[in-house]
């Protein structure tokens, strides 16, 4: 699979919002990624399929009725070159993000399109976030996961996350509890050696090479 992982941009928002609605249909209100891109403590990444392109839908501008509508339709017909469809963009398979606060990198979400799940994409995003947290000089990484999502809990445990608490009624869609998990001392030799070992294992299984991602520099307080 040919893909890249990079920082999220403004142009990615239509696809990111689409993936968010697919991955978290019951959560309300939906995340505002337009605002997140302006958030100085937020860092978001996307993983893209380089063999596939995404063409944004053309905006719908229905002409008015009557004479003015007829004139608008005639203009559209004879000036079609002025109404070209928007350019194709990289096809985003998934995205993830974290907030950096006082040495703590808190993973806000990891989301993958349905048809790309169970193909190592979510794990790759997790690896990328842990490496980004290290580059941002975080001391620990935290996250919440549904108590029913034992598969995700096992994945996080494999990377050294331990359960440290329970957030009652954390999820707004069904009031499910959230398990709070933490990966501590991520700069230690133990944590880094485990990360690199699992990264190599992931690459052998899925054939994915992770390109270096330069995180945004945190704003100076």
CA angle 78, 82, 87 (to 5 degrees): 135
pLDDT of residue 145: 97
Range 189-197 average pLDDT: 95
Q: Up-side HSE of residue 219: CA atoms within 13 Å toward CB?
A: 9
Examine the residue annotation and report whether 159 is marked as an active-site residue of this protein.
Answer: no
pLDDT tens-digit readout, 27-86: 778 889 999 999 999 999 999 988 888 887 765 555 556 666 666 666 656 555 444 555
Examine the residue annotation and report whether 156 is marked as an active-site residue of this protein.
Answer: yes
Q: Please check whether residue 94 lies inside any domain of the structure.
A: yes
Q: Please check whether residue 221 lies inside any domain of the structure.
A: no
Q: How many Å apart are CA 173 and CA 148, to the nearest integer?
A: 14
- Output the DSSP codes for the chain: --EEEEE--GGGHHHHHHHHHHH-TT-SSPP-HHHHTT-TTEEEEEEEEEEEEE-PPPP--PPPSHHHHHHHHHHHHHTGGGSPPPPPEEEEEEEEEEEEETTEEEEEEEEE-GGGTTTTHHHHHHHHHHHHHHHTT-SEEEEEEETT-HHHHHHHHHTT-EEEEEETT--TTT---EEEEEEE-TTSHHHHHHHHHHHHHHHHHH---PPP--PPPPPP-
Catalytic residue of the set 33, 44, 116, 156: 156
Catalytic residue of the set 116, 144, 163, 171: 144
Q: Please check whether residue 73 lies inside any domain of the structure.
A: yes
Q: Please check whether residue 47 lies inside any domain of the structure.
A: yes
Percent of the chain with pLDDT over 70: 79
- Structural domain harbouring 164: 3-56+64-206
pTM equals: 0.83
Q: Please check whether residue 144 lies inside any domain of the structure.
A: yes
Q: At 83, which CATH number?
A: 3.40.630.30
Q: Please check whether residue 72 lies inside any domain of the structure.
A: yes
Number of structural domains found in the chain: 1
Q: Please check whether residue 217 lies inside any domain of the structure.
A: no
- At 118, list the tokens: 């169970």
- At 92, list the tokens: 């985003």
pLDDT tens-digit readout, 85-136: 556 688 999 999 999 999 999 999 999 999 999 999 999 999 999 999 999 9
Calculate the CA 206 to chain-centre distance.
Answer: 19
């Amino acid at each position: 699979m040919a893909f890249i992982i990079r920082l999220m941009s403004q142009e990615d928002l239509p696809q990111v919002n689409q993936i968010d609605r697919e991955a978290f249909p019951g959560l309300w209100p939906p995340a505002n990624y337009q605002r997140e891109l302006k958030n100085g403590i937020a860092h978001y990444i996307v993983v893209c399929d380089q063999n596939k392109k995404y063409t944004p839908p053309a905006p719908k501008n229905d002409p008015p009725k009557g004479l003015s509508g007829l004139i608008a339709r005639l203009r559209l017909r004879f000036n079609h070159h002025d109404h070209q469809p928007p350019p194709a963009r990289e096809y985003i398979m998934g995205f993830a993000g974290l907030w950096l606060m006082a040495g703590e990198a808190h993973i806000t979400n990891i989301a993958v399109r349905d048809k790309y799940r169970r193909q190592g994409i979510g794990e790759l995003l997790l690896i990328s976030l842990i490496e980004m947290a290290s580059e941002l000089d975080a001391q620990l990484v935290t996250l919440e996961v549904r108590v029913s999502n034992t598969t995700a809990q096992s994945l996080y445990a494999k990377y050294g996350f331990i359960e440290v608490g329970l957030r009652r009624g954390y999820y707004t869609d069904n009031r499910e509890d959230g398990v709070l998990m933490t990966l501590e001392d991520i700069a230690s030799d133990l944590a880094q050696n485990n990360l690199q070992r699992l990264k190599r294992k992931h690459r052998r299984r899925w054939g994915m090479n992770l390109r270096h991602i330069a995180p945004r520099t945190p704003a100076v307080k």
